Amino acid sequence: MKKILALLLLAISFSGCEKDDICVDETTPRLIIEFYDDANPANLKNVTNLEVTEVGRADSLKIFSGVSVIELPLKNTADMTKYSLVLNSTSTIPGLPNDDYLEFNYTRENVFVSRACGYKTIFKLNNSNGFIPTDSEALDSPWILNHSIQTSNIETENDVHIKIYF
C-alpha cells in the first residue's frame, strides 16, 4: 500500500511539471541595412568610421567601421525612429565627416511568441515615407546618394531591409 501511495504521489507531482521554456531568437527584430557602392551597385561597400546615434538619445552612440551591414533597433513604443549617421566621423579634414539623417516611419504590431519569450514587435515601413535621408547642413552634400527598400515588413533579422548606396 505504501508503494502504491508513493507511486501515486510521484505521478501527481510530475503531472504538474512542464518542460522548461527557453526563448531563442524570438525577439523584436532590428532593421538590417546593407551599404553598396553607388558607382557599381552590385558591390557591397564598407563604411569607414560610421557614427550612428538615435536622435534624442545620447546613450545610443555606435561606431561601425569596415563593415557593409549594420543592424539598428526601431522604437517599439513609437511609430518613428530617427538616426544621425556620420560617415568618416573621426576625420579632422573639414567637410569629410558628413552627417545625414534617416527617419523611419512605420506601424507596429505586438505578436505573442510564447510564455518564455513573451511578445515581440514587428514593424511595417510606410512605403510613402518609410525612409527619409536628409542632410544636416546645406553646405554639405549628402553622402547617401540613393536607397532602396528591400522589404517593408521587418519580422526577422534574416533579410536585408534597406540598401543604401554611397
> pLDDT higher for 145 or 7?
145
Question: The C-alpha cell of 108 is what?
Answer: 507596429
Residue 74 reports pLDDT greater than 70? yes
- The Cα-based distances of 155 to 14, 25, 81, 108, 129 in angstroms read 37, 12, 17, 10, 19
Residue with cell 528591400: 150
Contact 31, 155 (CB under 8 A): no
Contact 87, 65 (CB under 8 A): no
Q: Which of 153, 155, 130, 150 is nearest to 79 (CA)?
A: 130
> pLDDT higher for 150 or 137?
150
Contact 115, 91 (CB under 8 A): no
Q: For position 133, what pLDDT does the model report?
A: 61
- Percentage of the chain modeled with pLDDT above 90: 51
Mean pLDDT of 50-66: 91
Q: For position 62, what pLDDT does the model report?
A: 92
Residue 79 reports pLDDT greater than 90? yes
Mean pLDDT of 18-43: 85
106-145 pLDDT, tens per residue?
Answer: 999 999 988 888 899 999 998 765 566 665 554 567 888 8
